[in-house]
Amino acid sequence: MNKQKLVIIGNGMVGHRFIEDFVDKADLDKFEITAFCEEPRVAYDRVHLSSYFSHHTADELSLVKEGFYAKHNIEVLIGERALTINRHEKVIHSQTGRAVYYDKLIMATGSYPWVPAIKGNESKDCFVYRTIEDLNAIEATARRSKKGVVVGGGLLGLEAAGALKALGVETHVIEFAPVLMAEQLDFQGGQMLRQKIESIGVNVHTGKNTQEIIASGETARNTMKFADGSQLEVDFIVFSTGIRPQDKLAKQCGLATARRGGITINNQCKTSDPDVYAIGECASWNEKFFGLVAPGYNMAKVVADDILCRENEFTGADMSAKLKLLGVDVGSIGDANGRTPNCKSYVYLDENSSTYKRIIVSEDGKSLLGAVLVGDTESYSNLLQYTLNDIELPKHPDSLILPEHAGCGDAGLGVDALPDSAQVCSCFDVKKSDIADAVSAGHSTIGAIKMETGAGTGCGGCIPLITQVLNAELTKQGVEVKNHICDHFEYSRQELFHLIRIEGIKTFTALLEKYGKGYGCEVCKPTVGSILASCWSDYVLSSDNNGLQDTNDIFLGNMQKDGTYSVIPRMAGGEVTPKGLAAVASVAEQYELYTKITGAQRIGLFGAHKSDLPDIWKQLIAAGFETGQAYAKALRMVKTCVGSTWCRFGVQDSVGLGVELENRYKGLRTPHKMKFGVSGCTRECAEAQGKDVGIIATDSGWNLYVCGNGGMKPQHAELLASDLDKQTLVKYLDRFMMFYVRTADKLTRTSVWLQNLSGGIDYLKEVIVDNKLGINKQLESDMADAIASYQCEWTATLSDQAQLQHFTHFINSDKQDDNVVFTPERGQKRPAFFDEKAPVYKIELEQV
């Protein structure tokens, strides 16, 4: 059987989405699929392009799962550009001379940035903002520049301005129109946005028509001249003045194109040639092209269906958007400028908190036509559902945008009011009924719903709504969300924490009697032990709690595979004196311990017999060390780079801060282990963004990132607050740490905790920075108590005779474990393998 040949030109977001959708739907044995990818890498997420500046890995942005193309036998020609299409012969030639034949061709060539014809715009200081290569070039230039300007105050322009700001250059935005984001906002909304953006230090110039860029200036490398005679000196310029459909190839092969550009398509996304489709930004439907990703995704679906002879059609797209630009929440729905004849508006303006909301309703007041939201987009999802599903407005439509304190009650549209067909996630076209189905199939968390339906994995704007639907469905189905820690307690860790704290419960036995049943197990015991330790800062070794602790916590070392322990003294911030090193070396030699620098910038000694631990620690403590809590679910360490004290690039004293923070939080028991990082400049040598708490120095203070994670599932930390002075930083950290300790489930790293926190990082900001829950005083005082009661667990243990008795291997003999056997390796020792120690074991037995 001859396979049908599908060729896709373009491997952007939409081109890739088509392949994904097709792979899902089709019997791939019947098709041979080839894709042209002109860029040097496969499809990546252009919507979140700016995030590239904060993590610098193209992989992070990639949309293609590793091995995806190979697995489905899809050939992707990376770096190859389709030069010509011969529709008569049905063949495409690329710049390498390759000829690829097709039966069906899908054009997904996207768009190109349009740059106005300004004299001087070809200078090497001029850029566009579209690909990872563009970003690399902008960043390299920003490093040797002081002032950058973005021409274009639209959505993408402001996104670019945010990136320039983050790169640390003085940032200007030039807009031709009298208002920012003229496409999406009305005049007043644009003004409010401008105020907010200016307040964070971005300079906005509207109504400016750039005429010329001259490659000289007094304070910068270039001078921009405007039509009104004014001028601005800048080092480099980023153009973000709109996009145009990439239809060059279509024109070359004679396909019909639209007047304003774009390959003309019908409702099946077919071009004037029935064997050629066009999807995404390169396509023009009804003389319109769509610069958003969601309509492109819909077109991709339509084409996949059409090739497989299933019915589907493209019927236009909703261009509503909700985004965060330069930290400002902005939302725009439907007819934002109120252009519908006889429409009426309701406006809410709060200059105090810089909030502007306007809704545009139909003449009869029954349907919502559009909305503009600046500064507060909480009602976005609700409003969007009114327009998308044409739901009749309440009697007083203004109740939809009035704040809660106005007293008109919760005007939120209950999710029950939404029809099953309501689109909840527009990026992936997920309907309310899809989510309901996933819930019935047993997916009961946001994470599971995202994985199952794809909802919320695009722009993420619909997550609050998904959460509502999820909860409503769960309640409807009588499903009780269970996060009981085990069979012995029908409570979550968070609930147990509150019970213990509020009722002042001090022992496991007391808690079990009152709230649990049975004896307890290896799950609830250490969990409760950890809560008791963080609530009451009791010495973790008090014998009442002994039976609750994992062996690591009892013997204050990490048990290794052969039953020996590791010894890791604290070296706060990675600092150690030569004298300290000598003391560590002497102990290691005396007890023949394997010695290694750990991943946490400190020295680990391995292979210590339990019975030797007290003597080893006695010596280390005498030399000024204390326990490093490497065995505990607690703050492990603060990794630091050398910082401004020594480094010629450093802008703040990262080691000093790291040492101070490590000493502040050491010993505090947390739901899982925690790691900090402090970098002295933006080069980020301490890899702080991969830590639970990451702090990066800026010229004017510290940026605080939280909830990152290395390990099994690496996760970049998210920015909680920027340019903090040390006092504020420590205050936020106190709150953050205690809030995590209070609310996280057992063995939940901060990254997972944040993912499950509904509202995510924005909610966390509200709690930590804005005191939304009103608990910050309490969190701070709890932390102060915990800090005040810190003691070195090893120092305490060494003075406790009853505990020390338990360090011998046998209760009734002074012998050591004869099954602990070592083999020399690279000048040190390692645990012997089974076959290496078998003979030794035999001899021992014979002696007995």
Partner 1 sequence: MSKWTQVCELKSIFPATGVCALVEGKQVAVFRPSEESQVYAINNMDPFARANVLSRGLICQHQEQLWVASPLKKQRFNLLDGSCLENTEVNVEAYKARVTDGFVEVHL
Rounded to 5 degrees, what are φ and ψ at 312? Answer: -170, 150
SS3 372: strand
- Cross-strand pairs, 588: none
> In terms of CB distance, is 342 or 805 closer to partner 1?
805
Tell me the closest approach of the beta carbon of residue 807 to partner 1, in angstroms.
11
* Sign of the four-CA dihedral 608, 610, 611, 617: positive
Please identify, using beta-carbon distances, which residue of 544 and 780 lies nearer to partner 1. Answer: 544
**543 vs 590, beta carbon nearer partner 1:** 543
748 token code pair: 């939940």
Q: Name the CA radius of gyration of the chain, rounded.
A: 31
- Output 525 or 735, the one with its CB closest to partner 1: 525
Question: Which residues make beta-bridge pairs with 698?
Answer: 701
Closest CB to partner 1 among residues 309, 811: 811
Residue 338, burial from CB neighbour count under 10 angstroms (0-12, 13-18, 19+): middle
Q: Which residues are registered as beta bridge partners of 239?
A: 128, 151
The smaller minimum CB distance to partner 1, of residues 1 and 811, is found at 811
> Which one, 89 or 846, has the nearer CB to partner 1?
846
For the range 25-31, what are the long-range contacts, defined as Cβ-Cβ under 8 Å and sequence gap of 24 or more? 25/304, 25/305, 25/308, 25/310, 26/304, 26/307, 26/308, 28/72, 28/73, 29/3, 30/1, 30/3, 30/4, 31/3, 31/4, 31/5, 31/6
By beta-carbon proximity to partner 1, the closer residue of 14 and 533 is 533
3 state DSSP class of 392: coil
| Smallest distance from partner 1 to CB 518, Å | 5
Q: How far apart are the first and last CA of the chain?
A: 76
Question: Rounded to the nearest whole angstrom, what is the least distance from the CB of residue 507 to partner 1 in the complex?
Answer: 11
- Closer by beta carbon to partner 1, 354 or else 546: 546
788 or 845: CB nearest partner 1: 845
Residue with token string 């039953």: 563
Closest approach, Cβ 815 to partner 1, in A, equals 7
CB of 744 to partner 1, least distance (A): 21
Minimum distance, C-beta of residue 604 to partner 1, in the bound complex (Å): 18
The Cα-based distances of 39 to 79, 80, 523 in angstroms read: 5, 8, 50
CB of 821 to partner 1, least distance (A): 11
745 burial via Cβ count (<10 Å: 0-12, 13-18, 19+): middle
Helix (H) or strand (E) holding 466: helix 463-476
Q: How long, in residues, is the chain?
A: 848
Cβ of residue 817: shortest distance to partner 1, in angstroms?
A: 5
- Least distance in angstroms from the C-beta of 483 to partner 1: 19
The residues that bridge with 92 in the sheet, in sequence order, are 85, 100
Of residues 206 and 560, the one with the C-beta less far from partner 1: 560
Q: How many other C-beta atoms can be found within 10 angstroms of the C-beta atom of residue 187?
A: 12
**From the CB of 540, what's the least distance to partner 1, in Å?**
14
Which position has the token pair 């007041």?
365
Nearer to partner 1, 21 or 544 (CB): 544
List, in sequence order, every residue forming a beta bridge with 171; answer none if it has no partner.
148
Q: What is the C-alpha to C-alpha distance for residues 116 and 151, in angstroms, rounded to an integer?
A: 10
Ordered alpha helix ranges (H), 167-244? 187-199
Q: Is 145 left (phi over 0), alpha (psi -120 to 50) or beta?
A: beta
DSSP 7-50: EEE--SHHHHHHHHHHHHHS-GGGEEEEEEE-SSSS-B-STTGG
How many Å apart are CA 659 and CA 573, to the nearest integer?
5
Q: Say which DSSP state 179 is in.
A: S
**Judged by CB, which is closer to partner 1: 57, or 799?**
799
C-beta of residue 194 within 8 angstroms of C-beta of residue 178: no
For β-strands 430-431 and 368-374, DSSP reports them as unpaired
For partner 1, the closer of residues 342 and 812 by Cβ is 812
DSSP characters for 778-808? Answer: HHHHHHHHHHHT---HHHHHHT-HHHHGGGS
* Cβ count near 599 (within 10 Å): 12
Provide the minimum distance between the beta carbon of 557 and partner 1 in the complex, in angstroms, as a whole number: 11
Taking the complex as a whole, the smallest distance from the CB of residue 488 to partner 1 amounts, in Å, to: 7
Q: How far is the CB of 834 from partner 1 (least distance, A)?
A: 6
User: Going by C-beta distance under 8 Å and a sequence separation of 6 or more, which residues neighbour residue 740?
Assistant: 670, 671, 750, 753
Least distance (Å) between residue 820 CB and partner 1? 8
Question: Which CB, 510 or 559, lies closer to partner 1?
Answer: 559
Contact residues for partner 1 (CB under 8 A)?
487-488, 518-523, 525-526, 543, 546-548, 550-552, 554-555, 559, 561-563, 805-806, 809-813, 815, 817, 819, 834, 845, 848
Q: How far is the CB of 59 from partner 1 (least distance, A)?
A: 32
